Each structure stands twice: as C-alpha cells, then as structure tokens.
Amino acid sequence: MGGGFARTLLTCTSCHHRLGRKILLFLSAGGMVLSLLSFGGYFYAKDVAAAAPPGWIPLLALMVYVVSVTKSQKKVFLLFK
C-alpha cells in the first residue's frame, strides 16, 4: 500500500513538471465532477427507474474520484505544506 502511494507521488511530481499545476488542477477537477455526477446519477436512477442500473457504476465512479484527487489536488496541497 505504501509503495503505491510513493509511486503515485513520484508520477505526480513528473506530471507537474511537464504539464504545470493549472492544467492538472483543471483535469482533476473535471474528473472529480464527472465521477460525483455519475455517482449521484446512479442513486437517483436507482430510486426513480423501474429497472436497477448496473452495480459497477458507483465503484467505478469512486475509483475515478480517488485517482483524480490523488493525481493532482492532493499533490498540490502537499507541495504547499
């Protein structure tokens, strides 16, 4: 588990040098928005629709959210500490 976090941190550092912080913040914010909208849409569809939506949607949405936060937002906050 710790090795995965260290690898992600090193990957994010190289991405910051290549792309810049602003682009990574916009990309991660977009990923977070899309994942949270799909997560909320799943539960809305589950309540409203007669047929149940596929059960893998919330899992995928949470995975995309975690990757989006880890790849940019969390890294920028660690840089300013």
Residue 67 lies in domain: 2-79
Query: How far is residue 29's CA from residue 35's CA, in Å, rounded to a whole number?
Result: 10
Q: Mean pLDDT across the chain, nearest whole number?
A: 75
DSSP string, 17-78: HHH-HHHHHHHHHHHHHHHHHHHHHHHHHHHH-SSPPPTHHHHHHHHHHHHHIIIIIHHHHH
Q: Is the pLDDT score of 74 beyond 70?
A: no
Q: Is the pLDDT score of 37 beyond 90?
A: yes
Spatial contact of 30 and 23, defined as CB atoms under 8 Å apart? no
Structural domains in the chain (count): 1
User: Going by C-beta distance under 8 Å and a sequence separation of 6 or more, which residues neighbour residue 52?
Assistant: 46
Q: Is the pLDDT score of 5 beyond 70?
A: no
Report pLDDT for 48.
87
Mean pLDDT within 50-72: 83
Asked whether the whole model's pTM tops 0.85, one would answer: no
Mean pLDDT within 24-33: 84
